[in-house]
Amino acid sequence: MPKDALAVQSRGTLDDVSRDGQVRVQVNARRAVAVAAGRGFLLALLGLGVAAGSSASPRRLQVFAAASLATAFTEIGHRLEAEQSGLDVRINFAGSQQLAAQIEQGAEADVFASADGRWMSDVGDRGLLDGDPVVFARNRLVVIVPATNPARIRRLQDLARGGVKLVIGADAVPVGRYSRLVLGNLSRDPAFGGAFAARALRNVVSEEENVKSVVAKVQLGEADAGIVYRSDVTPGVARFIRVFEIPDSANVLASYPMATLKGAKQPDAARAFVAFVLSPEGQEILKRSGLVPAAPPSR
């Protein structure tokens, strides 16, 4: 299980009759006749021991979710566990491209939540989705710099200045693709100039496999700037960075689709998880986590 997986389990304890949950009965052959009348009692006791040793284990729900959903989905997982006794929600957070590859290679998963439609479609094209995906949230991008701002970045145009160390997601990662779209959009603004995107991309010193790695490098001062989701600027991160907003005219509104998967070990729990995310309570959690709630479906 990946390090960032949510693992919350609820298990009761029971003192079994013996270490392996079964009663060991030894009958002295010489006294077999004498104890024959007690066989009914012994068999009943044996049955009790077996039952104690085979108590039901928690239902384990496996959710594969984009790294940018960590804050929101961790809370949602806890809420669902509180509502459904015996449910164990485990969430694998990673880049959407990594999650898609794991699912396609046979990893056990019940729900897939991607940061873009590209990787959801990739999984769907392989016939692994159980029903149509539903968009449950959206996200916007921002530029972050370390709180100390060693490169003295004062405006977005400075991302193209020589010597600036910029970190973005790899092109296969949704946030990386969105970042390149934003830079291209800014290049069409006369205030930035047509060469802005090319110059900024020449300043890229690292392309990360998920957005949390971009945040970490900026937070630790290993980069002068990074492009991340608004939802990644959590309270724990905000005190270590400064945020530069991207104009709406150049920004990207990223859509997040989610679907249950064929062959899910817990199909009912998977549907319950999706329903919770789409519920008013789930949408409020997403909003508090910096995401844009999905518009309600038209009637």
pLDDT in tens, 218-246: 999 999 999 999 999 999 999 999 999 99
Residues 170-188 have pLDDT tens digits of 999 999 999 999 999 999 9
Q: Given strand 241-245, what is the order of strands in its sheet?
A: 204-208, 166-169, 225-229, 141-146, 241-245
Look up the CATH architecture of domain 1-137+256-299: 3-Layer(aba) Sandwich (3.40)
DSSP letters, 199-238, are HHHHTEEEEESSHHHHHHHHHTTSSSEEEEEGGG--HHHH
CATH homologous superfamily of 141-245: Periplasmic binding protein-like II (3.40.190.10)
* Number of other CB atoms surrounding residue 155 within 10 Å: 10
Amino acid occupying residue 266: Q
CA angle 208, 282, 175 (to 5 degrees): 15
pLDDT digits (tens, 9 = 90+) for 109-162: 999 999 999 999 999 999 999 999 999 999 999 999 999 999 999 999 999 999
Domain ranges across the chain = 1-137+256-299, 141-245
Q: Quick one: how far is CA 238 from the chain centroid?
A: 21
Phi, psi angle pair for 120, to nearest 5°:
-65, -40
With 0.85 as the threshold, say if the pTM is over it: no
pLDDT above 70 as % of the chain: 80
SS (H, E, C) 258-283: EEEECCCCCHHHHHHHHHHHHCHHHH
Is there a shared CATH topology between the 1-137+256-299 domain and the 141-245 domain? yes
